[in-house]
Amino acid sequence: MPERVRIFDTTLRDGEQTPGVSLTKEEKLTIARKLDEFGVDTIEAGFPVASEGEFEAVKAIAGEGLDAEVCGLARCVRRDIDAAVEAGVDCVHVFIATSDIHLKHKLEMSREEALERAVEGVEYAKEHGVTVEFSAEDATRTDPDFLLEVYKATVEAGADRINVPDTVGVMTPPRMYRLVRRIVDALDVPVSVHCHDDFGLAVANSLAAVEAGAEQAHVTVNGIGERAGNASLEQFVMALKALYGLDLDVRTEMLVELSRLVERLTGVVVPPNAPIVGENAFAHESGIHSHGVIKCAETYEPIRPEDVGHRRRIVLGKHAGRHAIKKKLEELGIEVDEEQLREIVRRVKELGDKGKRVTEEDLEAIARDVVGEVPESEAAVRLEELAVMTGNRVTPTSSVRVRLKGEERSAAATGVGPVDAALRALREAIEELGLDVELREYRLEAVTGGTDALAEVVVKLEDEEGNVVTARGASEDIVMASVRAFVSGVNRLVQRREEG
Ligand code: KIV
Ligand code: ZN
């Protein structure tokens, strides 16, 4: 293992080769500044000969006075190298393909010609006083003996570093290890790797290369790049730090910020389950995991979210446990007793079973609803069942079944709408209570967006003695939320009358 590994970031070059991605000069500058602040060793700013705009962007980055080495890509062609040098880069990354498949079908060149062009390219770039990194494109599908011959010749021609691209991502970690080991042993300049992610092995292959002695790896933020992309900066850096214990001089706490910036400017969305920077990288849903993490984060987190600028989230859904819900309620400043907590957990799971992710606002609404309720054991009315039929060609009809002071009662009614029908049926079912309840106010609010949003209904009820109560009901079903609010209000009125 080398003592230090250089981070060569190619977000602005290979990353920009992601299908559909094109960055403006200003956007490239913004990313370059952030990469520099983060602490990468090299920023490959672009391919200067590609276009006027690309040249200007590389030139602007090279002129920024960044701490990082600024590099420009060039084929082993004089005008490419001239463009890079003219853009003012510190390093020119020259490359030529060396695999037979590329030589035959793309370059239509013999191995000897390619070798000659590689040497000429490196020599020409060196004449301009810049650092030169040489890449044998498609190195991992190149005959290894010829590959070594090319690398040795380019080092002799003055290359300061040589890079081993796994251009189509076909390596496996053991094969990468063996190849890089052989190259490292044969050369006396730093060896770098550039791994593509066609089989999802780019980071694993880069790490295997480091184990074999590679002193640098090419990476991109969020792993963007040609086809399936490149080795991801955030995964590679954190694996080196956390799994290999390597001391890198980078500000890992900026990783999420960097990732979000690149996501926003490139439009390439980071999947929620992306390692390190994905929205779910530190989210816990199952009761068992949440409980563990609440007690000791290390139980289910291999690194601390704050070390990469992320945050831990306890997600509530059907797998949520009472510990997670209790913790969340504490955070929201809502105090509950055991019975209330049990009811809140039941409702959260019920929503989860319906495929809904319970947001903080949902939980707050449920909790407010439950906390405001008369305890079940003391409630005069308990809703057992509610059914509603509605539509454009039927009269809204509802039937309810309740437990009234322990006795089962049911009733049915029609109304101008489903809520009206349900409340009429409910009033009939609780008639024996002898309450004359007036609905003074009815307010309906969607707690969160979407058609599956939790609805919160607030009702103000008044009885014939002038007692006024306000009660809430929350449910993803508006009728259910209305009935819950009404039942809760009635129970409070009964309680108030009994208390005198
Ligand atoms: O994937 C590749 O081979 C490259 C080279 C230009 C290094 O991006
Ligand atoms: Zn590449």
CB 142 near ligand 1, within 6 Å: no
Domain presence at residue 271: no
| Domain boundary residue, one of 266, 299, 324 | 266
Task: Report the percent of the chain where pLDDT is more than 90.
Answer: 76
Q: Which of 13, 14, 80 to mutate to test the pocket of ligand 1 (most atoms within 8 A of CB)?
A: 14
Q: What's the Cα-to-Cα distance from 51 to each of 77, 80, 289, rounded to whole Å?
A: 15, 11, 51
Please state the rounded mean pLDDT for residues 152-159. 98
Which of 486, 482, 465 is closest to 474 using CA atoms? 482
Low-confidence winner among 276-290, 332-346, 365-379 (lowest mean pLDDT):
365-379
Nearest CA to ligand 1 atom 8: 14
Domain identity same for 305 and 400:
no
Q: What is the pLDDT of residues 427-473, one digit of tens each?
A: 999 999 999 999 998 988 877 667 777 888 989 999 998 888 888 88
Please state the rounded mean pLDDT for residues 327-338. 88
Domain identity same for 391 and 328:
no
Q: Which of 137, 150, 163, 171 to mutate to test the pocket of ligand 1 (most atoms within 8 A of CB)?
A: 137
Residue positions counted in the chain? 500
pLDDT at 285: 81
Which of 139, 279, 131, 254 is closest to 205 using CA atoms? 139
Domain identity same for 74 and 194:
yes
Angle at 178 between CA 204 and CA 137, to 5 degrees: 75
Angle at 496 between CA 495 and CA 500, to 5 degrees: 115
Higher pLDDT, 402 or 357: 402
pLDDT at 469: 86
For residues 136 and 152, is the Cβ–Cβ distance under 8 A? no
Domain presence at residue 276: no
Domain presence at residue 354: yes
Domain identity same for 72 and 110:
yes
For residues 467 and 489, is the Cβ–Cβ distance under 8 A? no
> Which domain, by its residues, includes 471?
374-499
Domain presence at residue 274: no
| Domain boundary residue, one of 319, 344, 371 | 371
Low-confidence winner among 182-196, 205-219, 418-432, 472-486 (lowest mean pLDDT):
472-486
Q: What is the pLDDT of residues 394-424, one digit of tens each?
A: 999 999 999 998 899 999 999 999 999 999 9
Q: What is the pLDDT of residues 87-101, one digit of tens each?
A: 999 999 999 999 999
CB 14 near ligand 1, within 6 Å: yes
For residues 416 and 396, is the Cβ–Cβ distance under 8 A? yes
Low-confidence winner among 216-225, 304-313, 369-378, 466-475 (lowest mean pLDDT):
369-378
Domain presence at residue 1: no
- Which ligand has the shortest distance to the CA of 138? 1
Q: What is the CATH number of the domain that holds 168?
A: 3.20.20.70
Low-confidence winner among 131-135, 207-211, 342-346, 360-364 (lowest mean pLDDT):
360-364
For residues 87 and 58, is the Cβ–Cβ distance under 8 A? yes
pLDDT at 357: 73
Domain identity same for 382 and 456:
yes
Taking 90 as the threshold, does the pLDDT of residue 222 lie above it? yes
Compute the distance from residue 206 Cα to the ligand 1 centre, in Å.
14
pLDDT at 360: 76
For residues 238 and 214, is the Cβ–Cβ distance under 8 A? no
Per residue, what are the HEC states of the chain? Answer: CCCCCEEEECCCCCHHHCCCCCCCHHHHHHHHHHHHHHCCCEEEEECHHHCHHHHHHHHHHHCCCCCCEEEEEEECCHHHHHHHHHCCCCEEEEEEECCHHHHHHHHCCCHHHHHHHHHHHHHHHHCCCCEEEEEEECHHHCCHHHHHHHHHHHHHCCCCEEEEEECCCCCCHHHHHHHHHHHHHHCCCCEEEEEECCCCCHHHHHHHHHHCCCCEEEEEHHHCCCCCCECEHHHHHHHHHHHCCCCCCCCHHHHHHHHHHHHHHHCCCCCCCCCCCCCCCCEECCHHHHHHHHHCHHHCCCCCHHHHCCCCEECECCCCCHHHHHHHHHHCCCCCCHHHHHHHHHHHHHHHHCCCCECHHHHHHHHHHHHCCCCHHHCCEEEEEEEEECCCCCCCEEEEEEEECCEEEEEEEECCCHHHHHHHHHHHHCHHHCCCCEEEEEEEEECCCCCCCCEEEEEEEECCCCCEEEEEEEECCHHHHHHHHHHHHHHHHHHHHHHC
Q: Which two tokens stand for residue 276?
A: 């390190």
Contacts of 101 (CB under 8 A, 6+ apart): 138, 141
| Domain boundary residue, one of 218, 236, 266 | 266
Q: What is the CATH number of the domain that holds 448?
A: 3.30.160.270
> What's this model's pTM, rounded to 2 decimal places?
0.79
Taking 70 as the threshold, does the pLDDT of residue 489 lie above it? yes
| φ, ψ dihedrals at 69, nearest 5° | -70, 135
Overall number of domains in the chain: 3
Q: What is the pLDDT of residues 32-76, one digit of tens each?
A: 999 999 999 999 999 999 999 999 999 999 999 999 999 999 999
pLDDT at 352: 85
Torsion of CA 44, 47, 49, 50, to 10 degrees: -160
The number of the ligand 1 atom at minimal distance from the alpha carbon of 230 is 1
Domain presence at residue 277: no
Query: For strand 455-462 and strand 397-404, is the pairing parallel, antiparallel, or unpaired?
Result: unpaired
pLDDT at 121: 98
Taking 90 as the threshold, does the pLDDT of residue 378 lie above it? no
CB 137 near ligand 1, within 6 Å: yes
Please state the rounded mean pLDDT for residues 358-384. 84
Taking 90 as the threshold, does the pLDDT of residue 274 lie above it? yes
The number of the ligand 1 atom at minimal distance from the alpha carbon of 73 is 6
Domain identity same for 464 and 477:
yes
Exposure of 468 by Cβ count < 10 A (0-12 exposed, 13-18 middle, 19+ buried)?
Answer: middle
From the CA atom positions of the chain, what is the Rg in Å? Answer: 33
| Separation of first and last alpha carbons in the chain | 81
Q: Which two tokens stand for residue 14?
A: 């290979």
Task: Report the percent of the chain where pLDDT is more than 70.
Answer: 99
The number of the ligand 1 atom at minimal distance from the alpha carbon of 137 is 3
* Spatial separation of the C-alpha atoms in residues 158 and 177, rounded to whole Å: 25
Domain identity same for 382 and 354:
no
Domain identity same for 120 and 232:
yes
Domain identity same for 318 and 398:
no
Q: Which two tokens stand for residue 151?
A: 């690398």
Domain identity same for 206 and 160:
yes
Exposure of 19 by Cβ count < 10 A (0-12 exposed, 13-18 middle, 19+ buried)?
Answer: exposed
> Which chain residues have CB less than 5 Å from ligand 2, an ion?
14
Domain presence at residue 275: no
Domain identity same for 27 and 76:
yes
Domain presence at residue 355: yes
CB 167 near ligand 1, within 6 Å: yes
Q: What is the pLDDT of residues 99-144, one digit of tens each?
A: 999 999 999 999 999 999 999 999 999 999 999 999 999 999 999 9
Query: How much is the mean pLDDT over the chain?
Result: 94
Exposure of 15 by Cβ count < 10 A (0-12 exposed, 13-18 middle, 19+ buried)?
Answer: buried
Please state the rounded mean pLDDT for residues 259-273. 96
pLDDT at 449: 67
Domain identity same for 313 and 383:
no
